[in-house]
Structure 1
């Protein structure tokens, strides 16, 4: 509970100019990109450096006040939703590139630096940062660390965990420690790896050292249309089976294509059932030979149109269409939920068919945009809240995530579990698995003050969902009363 003593201590820790307490200002922090989950915090603090983050955390620890770290608020799993009577520690003012080392190919960043700005800082040295989530213009490296984000190029280059060498972390009691090191591989337990993807439940990363890569010698990109989603899926499997590892293989179905084309005019075919964006990079000779193989595979599977980007401008337009897809869906539906799950590549056609049938049964449309190369799906459940479709949409979204587990995949590829899928964790993990995760979390945060109620299922979370109030089933049955 945030009492007056705790408020005064937080103001002293970060300065009065770095505290938001008025009701209107607090409303700006009530949710992240998953707007169906909302909770107004009691206070927001905006530290300007690592020490002031640590000072704020020490106050919260001393006064037993729960706190949630927040970056750009672009997360899609409710992971940055505040806690009632708790504090939001916003990292939006920690956005400096602290160092770029072109010799060792490293950069040191504050957590509020956007993904795209890392590459901009590295570009003068012929370097870039490989992970590129579709929201790279606004998502921050701190959020990437929390969710272990991937993006379109994760098939070849891996996820955030493959590019983060070290982190300066404020633990839940306010202690400042370093996890990892210059090489990324340290003796003893891999605490860097434990922290990455922990969704803000183990502490707050305040300085992050990332690995930079040389800009590829050659980049080649094509956009291919197909008569069906299964045909496009077979192309993906055949490309990988041929020993080719593209930098990216992205798939969009017709609903997603229509939305993206209406939004940005990227040159997609409006009536095609499915499209693939395939990009290869590397040495000129290797890239050229493999690109011809990819084109032949596309043609063998009935490609109805194959457009090769002729220059950097065309390549940028193709990617603009793909990266605009999530937001563009707002042009064809008043409301939508972005889901995130993973299936084996060999089951792409099956899962998409099942999703279509589930959508039909629910009376809702589902647009599909995904990283086809590694089977990371992003189904968008379209609905109209004003027409009373919210609960059906939420149920369908949950069922799609759990379907991915049923087919041998996972609940999340990069958006995280957060609040949205915590209750589905037992579908993927056994009781012992969840208990071990809970013990690890307790080792970092025995008082459960750091982003509580996220990631792991709890009776409160699963029985009484945050957000818009819904009566508990026992309340409806008259067994319990709401006080």
Structure 2
């Protein structure tokens, strides 16, 4: 491939200002929200329409140029890190809400629509978009599809795949596919679900039809303080076992509590080893009954104190603290590395104790903030990147944590995706036979291996090398 010629064709094919090639223009796009993995692309395209996407895909396919799609750049697994010999296709500018139908409770949007903006637009009709990642004020719907994002309220309302009805996408050979539809069931293979979590490796999404949810008539928030992490973890399982599915059930440990309280004064107890935040919503009578039951469960589980938000202002302050945890923890250390893994609820306490034990030999601190209701952990590893071996120690600790999640019956990711960060752990999660099936599927939809290559699915050779390496270090 003649890089100069390719860039000239790209510039000629698109409107002025859409293609960036100068070094200072490319620098802001070298990474997503995991800045330890960076690369400078050949060119960045700021797409504004499906037609422009088709043009870019066609040129990349014809010239065999790798193509990485990026939304808002809030991903935490380096899934949108550019390819140094490829094009970075940015869809953040495709940000129109094309249709919002209160009768069918759906919205048809372009991939660049910001998550929180969709709920704001639906609020006039008493509706909202339920999946709410902590980055919802910045992350895009297209990026949510790519990572199958969850959020605070996914326990009751589901992750992205449960809230999408249909999508349009462009394949590497330039075809437009429409997956899903207005009916609950569709014949044939469930390709709509397949695209969720595929990290831009199977096609470029250009339009998404999402389900909207009625705003609950009432929401009650409880906060419980615990003197031990284990007791808080046991309370999580006890609430679900009692037959209550909270809208949200979140947990923070002592380090996360102290950082967050100093950052935004949410009203958290600084002497607590862990806190639980519980949202109960629905019909007022239902909320009243569930609140009484959850209060009883929390007290029986050994909560040192249980509070009920007295008004909406206090409720929002508690949740602002939870959603501000990442920037708050960022004040404690020059750098941090946030991972995610999911474990069975009954193993949460065990896993948190193991994380603390694993961190010691690496001389690292870990804060834990997570979606306790579905066992989705977010260990945040604090480090100083100026130390020569710091990143290596962080990566080894992260690998140990994620592989322990697998060992107890969990998985290496719940919503952040695999990207580059967790690609080695795929070799622990899956067998060679399973990896081969993934690779066959990738080749069927992307024969030239141009869409976000070298991410998500490792080669069999890499799997075998990594397993041998871990065995030698055991």
TM-score (norm 2): 0.96
Alignment partners' CA distance in 2, 1:362 and 1:116 = 38
1:300-315 superposed matches below 5 A? 300-315=300-315
Aligned to 1:3: 3
Identify if the C-alpha distance between structure 1 residues 464 and 51 changes in structure 2 by more than 3 Å, giving closer, same or farther.
farther
5+ long unaligned stretches in structure 1: 466-472, 474-483
Tell me whether 1:154 sits opposite 2:133 in the alignment.
Answer: no
CA contact (8 A) 1:2 1:42 kept: no
Partner of 1:99: 99
* Structure-2 residue corresponding to 1:392: 393
**What is the RMSD computed on CA atoms of the aligned residues?**
1.6
Look up the match of 1:440: 441
In 2, are the aligned partners of 1:2 and 1:65 still within 8 Å (CA)? no
CA–CA distance in structure 2, aligned partners of residues 268 and 170 of structure 1: 47
1:186-265 correspondence to structure 2 within 5 Å: 186-265=186-265
Mapped to 2, the partners of 1:380 and 1:462 lie a distance apart of: 26
- 1:361 deviates by 2.0
- Structure 2 unaligned regions, length at least 5: 470-474
Asked if the contact 1:2/1:86 (under 8 Å) is kept, the reply is: no
Could you tell me how far 1:4 is from its partner in structure 2? 2.6
- Aligned CA distance change for structure 1 residues 312 and 43 (closer, same or farther; 3 Å): same
Contact conserved, 2:259 with 2:325, CA < 8 A, in 1? yes
Paired with 1:271 and 1:362, the residues of 2 have a C-alpha distance of 26
Superposed CA deviations along residues 277-317 of structure 1, whole A, max 9, x for unmatched, are 00111111111011011111111222222221122211111
Partners of 1:219 and 1:280 within 8 A in 2: yes
Q: Which residue of 1 aligns with 2:450?
A: 449
**Could you say what secondary structure the match of 2:82 adopts?**
coil
Contact 2:225–2:305, Cα closer than 8 Å, also in 1: yes
Give the TM-score of the pair, scaled to structure 1.
0.94
Cα pair 1:423 1:456 within 8 Å, conserved: no
Which segment drifts farther, 388-397 or 127-136? 388-397
Q: Which residue is equivalent to 2:405?
A: 404
For residues 18-37 of structure 1, what are the structure 2 equivalents within 5 Å? 18-37=18-37
Helix, strand or coil at the partner of 2:292: helix
Asked if 1:299 is matched to 2:317, the reply is no
Contact 1:30-1:39 within 8 A present in 2 as well: yes
After superposition, the C-alpha distances for 1:112-148 in whole angstroms (9 at most, x for unaligned) are: 1111011011000000111101111011100100010
- The aligned counterpart of 1:470 is none
Per the alignment, in what secondary structure is the counterpart of residue 85 of structure 1? coil
Report the Cα offset of residue 325 of structure 1: 0.5
Match of 2:348 in 1: 348
> Does the aligned pair in 2 maintain the 1:31–1:80 contact within 8 Å?
yes
The number of equivalent residue pairs is: 466
